[in-house]
Structure 1
Amino acid sequence: MELILPEGHTMWVYCPGSANPKKITGKKSQAMILAFNEVPDDDLDFDEDLIYTYGGELFTGIGYEESDGRRISEIQYVNGRQEGVSCDWHADGSLCEETTFRQNVLHGRRVRYDTEGHVLLEEEYEYGILRSKVERDAEGEVMDAFELKPGDPLWKTLVDFRERFKW
């Protein structure tokens, strides 16, 4: 199934089980086509650069894994690369983790939950580099925290990536 999103129109896309929708807006001079291909992860092929294909073509859609008749994970792909939010679920069906990718790279939030919905881990990535992290116990107390600062060794790499890629 495909959906054409005309210029200026907005749509909210939900990852099943997630309370955090993603806003998509049609771009100027082009319509956005959203493909809702869903295939089992085992049916996807990938190469050494982790470019995913299905039936010999770059895959756009959702790769998923099921166990005992229920979905336990799904990953969004665009043109063979992980793009958007991937989700994993606990055995009881509650959301376990949401991770955001951009062109196959961690880029955005990664959040891990316990089965009660409490946030155990919040991380923020930019170009695959960990920018910040807060880890909590089941009571919500901070156990560990990190924030990348200008003096850290990866800061220069992050600045270089920002200038080069401009996502």
Structure 2
Amino acid sequence: MRSSPVTVPEHLMHQATALIDPPSRKIHLREFGQVQGHVTVEGRVIESSAPKKILLRMEEIPLKNIKLQQEDTQVDVSLWREAALLEVDYGKEVSLSHLAAMMAEELKKEQDTSSSHLERMKKNLKASVRDLQHRLDEAEKLALKGGKKQLQKLSQSSLFETPGASFINCS
């Protein structure tokens, strides 16, 4: 059984495309840290790193860092996955769309949270090192005590007899 072809009106195709791939707002680079959401920026590439692989959720992801300049404003941008593999030449004018922009306050809060988490981890590790050092010192003291007791036992039992004479070791 065959069905007849379905014709989709042009306006519905545009709406569907907008839902699947929503447009991102074009902004000037100086606004980059002041807006949130997906944006489009344009600028000249003034720095570009070689792609490197990072581990993210047990998957190696390519990452490339570039620096864009527009007039007197410069912004660092990280390109991920397929975008990191694109050839981006120094001095080339580029347009990057659908960048996830974070407001400066939100980014700072995220960095502070990460930083405080690292500080807590550092504090806990230092406490663990102190505890382990204390336990090691105690174990060494006990080993020395046990060694001295063994020496005392040996020296006390060093009274030995040979036929016709008694000798005492007085060390």
TM-score if structure 1 supplies the norm length? 0.21
Higher relative CO (Cα under 8 Å, sequence separation at least 6) belongs to 2
Which structure features the higher share of helix residues? 2
TM-score if structure 2 supplies the norm length? 0.20
Higher alpha-carbon Rg: 2
